[in-house]
Amino acid sequence: MMRILLFLGTNLAVIVVASITLRLLGVEGYLTEQGMNFNALLIFCFIFGMAGSMVSLFISKWMAKRTTGTVIIESPSNATEKWLVDTVAELARDAGIKTPEVGIFPAQQSNAFATGWNKDDALVAVSAGLLNRMRPEEVRAVLAHEIGHVANGDMVTLALIQGVLNTFVMFFARVVAQLVDSFLRRDDGGGLGFMGYFAVVIVAEIVFGLIASAIVAWFSRFREYRADSAGAQLAGSGAMINALARLKAETEMPDQMPDTMRAMAITKGQTRSLMEKLFASHPPLDDRIRALKEAAYRQ
């Protein structure tokens, strides 16, 4: 539950900060005085809504290295690192993308992630625990899954979706506040006032932000199936299924992946409550394994 709250809090914080900035710059006051110019409001919301997502996208590699403690393999120092770099290069070539940076982060849970602002400037990292406990063919399948994320452009698409949703969250929150203000003015002539208007905007942004977060989480779950499919094509269905089964066996271990990076990891563990399922960035591993087996059966 805490992970969900942190995930939602991060998204809502971006929107609230943008709202405060709009207020401090006098943009909302000007639009209100002009009778709420909806075209201008939508443009301003789009600029601020997309800005946060784009900034996050462009610094994603830097943030990933910093928050996970990932060490980039500049020059392999042992046979395992050389195999890891060579395998990523081979999979990237098969997927038709430029070889990403390769790194290892110090977590005992088997995990991996991919990030970067475009498919030709990406980072693929695996945990030390994954390298220590998985067989080479299973590690290769995990790497293929992450290469699938990169080749599919999932990082960019996720950022664009988040930016568009942020735009509409900010826009409709202000429309709601304007409607409430207009209703009160008609009723008693007083209106919401400065602080009342801003309070309604924040509350509406929280409500709409929850809906937006559920939409982003749904897309994130959808892209996991696509990455699994890409991993199966690059490394083989059997290896991909075995890798997910191994990950499932480790879901009870403490998750050392920072909350900001879990959406980009290959696994976030199992979800239990309805709330967790609604806002989960990953589908249950049983469902992912079942989908791969059904796809293999149809072939």
Known binding positions for Zn(2+): 145, 149, 224
Q: Which residues contact 61 (CB under 8 A, 6 or more apart)?
A: 101, 115, 116, 117, 121, 122, 123
DSSP-based three-state secondary structure for 227: helix
Q: Which of 28, 138, 146, 205 is catalytic?
A: 146
Q: Which residues contact 139 (CB under 8 A, 6 or more apart)?
A: 84, 87, 126, 130, 131, 243
Q: Half-sphere exposure of residue 81, counting CA atoms within 13 Å on the CB side? A: 13
Instruction: Examine the residue annotation and report whether 146 is marked as an active-site residue of this protein.
Output: yes
Beta bridge partners of 92: none
- DSSP letter assigned to residue 118: S
**Residue 72 zone, left/alpha/beta (φ > 0; ψ -120 to 50; rest):** beta
CA distances to 48, 74, 102, 119 from 99, in Å? 33, 13, 9, 9
- The answer to whether residues 70 and 105 touch, using CB atoms and an 8 Å cutoff, is yes
Q: At what angle do helices 285-298 and 237-249 cross, to 10 degrees?
A: 160
Cα(255)–Cα(68) distance, integer angstroms? 12
Beta bridge partners of 104: 71, 126
Q: What are phi and psi of 129, to 5 degrees?
A: -65, -40
Q: At what angle do helices 237-249 and 193-235 cross, to 10 degrees?
A: 130
DSSP per residue, 3-21: HHHHHHHHHHHHHHHHHHH
* Positions marked catalytic: 146
